[in-house]
Amino acid sequence: MKNRRLLILVISLCLILDISCSIAADKKNAKKSAFITHGEFVTDLVTAMGWDAGLPLKPREKDYLAILSGKRFFKFEAEKYYAAQTDNVSVRNYALLGPFSGSGWVSGIASPTTAHFKVLLPIGGIYSLTVAAKGDGQKWQVGGKEFTVSTGSKIAEAKVADISLNAGFQEINVVLPPDGAVDYFILDAPTLRAIAPIDGWETKSVFNHGDLAEVTVALLGLESNLPDDGKPIVFPVADVAELPVSAKITTVDYLGKPLAPKWVRADYRGAQLEVPFTVDKDGAYRIRVRALGDTISAEVDSDKVKGNGKPYLEWVDLGLFRLDQGSHKLLINLKTNQGVDVVEIAGKKSSPAEYMAVSAIKGEPDAPVKRTDLDKILASLVDRFKERK
């Protein structure tokens, strides 16, 4: 009986091993689809463009999409990123030093001590470093440079510097004065144009030539070549923005002739103006403001941009944006004595046919991209690419 059971066990194990080997062989020999998916194109594009330095050690789908999104606002909570095993600091979670964000803040000791932070930047560029910290004489070390920051006896926010940083892991250290503290720090740069199809990435869907055309136009910055779609919409900021106390209506015309009867100007405190607007269909839109100021900072639906202006009222191009049908928000951040007159929203024709023409992609928009063509397509994009803005 015992030998019989042993024989049955051996036979069962052999069957299991045979089935497992067959499954493994099937998976190994399984042919990939003749057509690529959005997700496959995303990963291959990031690699081909040489942008994979911005990926973590074990990248996931969202990490590739973060690079292509172009967003460059990163807030790091100190308690999540300090070197917990080696730093001579502790984490507190009470409001002794004023309000804090996240789950707590990093507290120094009775003598100077260094906190070490290691963070990942998906995209490189010139970043503004802002810290929320406590103490005078903090020494922040980043990008091979050291900066001194003082924020007093409570946690307060202060800008450190503008720093050029490459994509990838960054080591940011701070020498805290006695009883110093860090709540968070922010690395912030203007948003780059998003690289995606009009309707966004659908990673499981088949990638077609229309998608390729829309991605190509975004990657190469060709949307300005799309045909204009009717007459631009122009409206006075003074008529639609709710003004803060630091902004006022003016009619003066010695700083450039305004297009509207009234325009808005900030006083010595500067001002943020919220300008609502709507578009009647999905598509690409160029946004300009007629403004006073050397550099105009703005946000379009949270995408931060800057435009070069003049010391008098003149058109400032904020760029091209892909907008969904419906309501949107333009924030205009005016510095001391800057002003704004009108906003112009100019639509571009955004059908698949227009994108195919501008991108010089051949074929039908709905035709899937063949796997055998992928290497040639990526090589062409790399060859045509100049700069991401």
Q: Which of 268, 275, 284, 207 has its CA nearest to residue 237?
A: 275
Type of residue found at 359: S
Contact assessment for residue 345 and residue 277, using Cβ atoms and an 8 Å cutoff: yes
Type of residue found at 295: T
Q: Are residues 20 and 125 in the same domain?
A: no
pLDDT of residue 324: 92
Q: Are residues 56 and 202 in the same domain?
A: yes
Q: Are residues 363 and 223 in the same domain?
A: yes
Q: Are residues 234 and 292 in the same domain?
A: yes
- Through-space distance between the first and last CA atoms of the chain, rounded to whole angstroms: 78
DSSP alpha helix (H) spans, the chain: 2-29, 38-48, 61-69, 78-81, 209-220, 237-240, 352-359, 374-384
Q: Are residues 241 and 335 in the same domain?
A: yes
Strands 145-149 and 156-165: unpaired
Q: Are residues 325 and 367 in the same domain?
A: no
pLDDT digits (tens, 9 = 90+) for 297-336: 999 998 999 999 999 999 999 999 999 999 999 999 999 9
Distances (CA, A) of 202 to 44, 62, 171: 15, 12, 34
What is the separation of C-alpha 101 from the centre of its chain, rounded to a whole number of angstroms?
Answer: 21
Query: In the chain, which residues have pLDDT < 50?
Result: 1-2, 6-30
Q: Are residues 25 and 135 in the same domain?
A: no
Domain count for the chain? 4
Q: Are residues 182 and 79 in the same domain?
A: yes
CATH number at residue 176: 2.60.120.260
Q: Are residues 275 and 336 in the same domain?
A: yes
Q: Which two tokens stand for residue 168?
A: 């990838």
Q: Quote the DSSP letter at residue 51.
A: -
| pTM summary value | 0.84
Q: Which residues form the domain of 140?
A: 73-188
How far apart CA 35 and CA 372 sit, in angstroms, is: 8
How far apart CA 272 and CA 221 sit, in angstroms, is: 29
pLDDT of residue 20: 44
